[in-house]
């Protein structure tokens, strides 16, 4: 997976060429602020970035590879078609996938998304035509960049930089969302265990939590671990 060191390009360049964001306005604001931070911290080109280029046009593929290597990205693998893409992706474990897909359909977008594991790496797709429905499908598929037109060498670099930037921000959003969901689930579990202790020991809410916290500290565990253990024991004894 990409780490912060793979963020490329200045803030103005990334924002100026930003393609689209499948998020509410508040998340767009987050994109701008976080991209500014990433750009400030990660201005150098990473030469160990692993890239797969899926391009049927042999001459265009060579031009793209030359452009990427001029940028410092030398670890580039070219695939002539999408046959066995999932298997090849799994074997090569790239950080970034560039794919040129003619006449895309919703099914083909979903297949490419699954094959490239778009949630785990930046994926930039070039298509020769699109419409509103296909654009929404591309966004839903988790693609980092969706561009109408051929992957001409002079535009590939900026598109890939934008794809990396978007992937970084959306990945951060997913992590934060998952953290928030887990925190909510933990709070529910702790509240259930706390209520059980209150009823069993005749304690107030504060006293029950203090007792659970003391038990957690004495056992070098987290309060959530104690809460889960209490609920498990209660279920076994029910």
Residue of 205, 121, 117 whose CA lies nearest to 171: 121
| pLDDT tens readout for residues 206-224 | 999 999 999 999 999 999 9
Same domain for 111 and 221? no
Task: Specify whether 111 is located in the same domain as 228.
Answer: no
Assess whether 21 and 109 both reside in one domain: yes
Q: How many domains does the chain have?
A: 2
pLDDT of residue 186: 95
User: Residues in the chain, how many?
Assistant: 238
The model's pTM: 0.61
Domain shared by 8 and 73, yes or no: yes
Question: Does residue 36 sit in the same domain as residue 104?
Answer: yes
- Which CATH number do you get for residue 102? 3.40.50.2300
Beta bridge mates, 127? 101, 148
* 38: its two tokens: 């990433």
CA 155 vs CA 17, 144, 147, 187: distances in Å: 10, 16, 10, 48
Same domain for 159 and 198? no
* Residues 28 and 113 both lie in one domain: yes
Q: What parts of the chain have a pLDDT lower than 50?
A: 1-29, 31-32, 35-45
Q: What is the pLDDT of residue 27?
A: 45
CB of 49 within 8 A of CB of 6?
A: yes
How far is Cα 188 from Cα 183, in angstroms, rounded to an integer? 9
Domain assignment of residue 224, given as a range = 179-237
**Phi and psi angles of residue 217, each rounded to the nearest 5 degrees, phi first:** -65, -40
CA distance 89 to 219: 44
CB 152 within 8 A of CB 191: no
């Amino acid at each position: 997976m990409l780490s912060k060191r793979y963020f490329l390009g200045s803030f103005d360049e990334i924002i100026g060429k930003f393609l689209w964001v499948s998020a509410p306005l508040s998340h767009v604001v987050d994109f701008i602020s976080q991209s500014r931070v990433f750009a400030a911290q990660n201005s150098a080109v990473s030469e160990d970035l692993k890239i797969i280029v899926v391009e049927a046009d042999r001459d265009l593929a060579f031009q793209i590879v030359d452009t990427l290597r001029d940028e410092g990205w030398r670890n580039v693998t070219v695939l002539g078609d999408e046959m066995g893409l999932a298997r090849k992706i799994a074997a090569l474990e790239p950080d970034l996938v560039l794919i040129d897909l003619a006449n895309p359909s919703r099914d083909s977008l979903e297949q490419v998304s699954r094959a490239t594991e778009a949630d785990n790496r930046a994926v930039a797709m070039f298509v020769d035509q699109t419409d509103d429905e296909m654009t929404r499908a591309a966004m839903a598929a988790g693609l980092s960049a969706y561009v109408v037109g051929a992957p001409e060498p002079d535009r590939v670099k900026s598109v890939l930089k934008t794809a990396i930037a978007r992937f970084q921000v959306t990945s951060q959003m997913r992590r934060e969302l998952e953290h928030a969901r887990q925190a909510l689930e933990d709070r529910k579990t702790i509240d259930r265990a706390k209520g059980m202790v209150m009823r069993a020991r005749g304690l107030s809410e504060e006293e029950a939590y203090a007792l659970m916290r003391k038990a957690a500290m004495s056992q070098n565990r987290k309060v959530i671990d104690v809460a889960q253990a209490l609920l498990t024991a209660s279920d076994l004894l029910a």
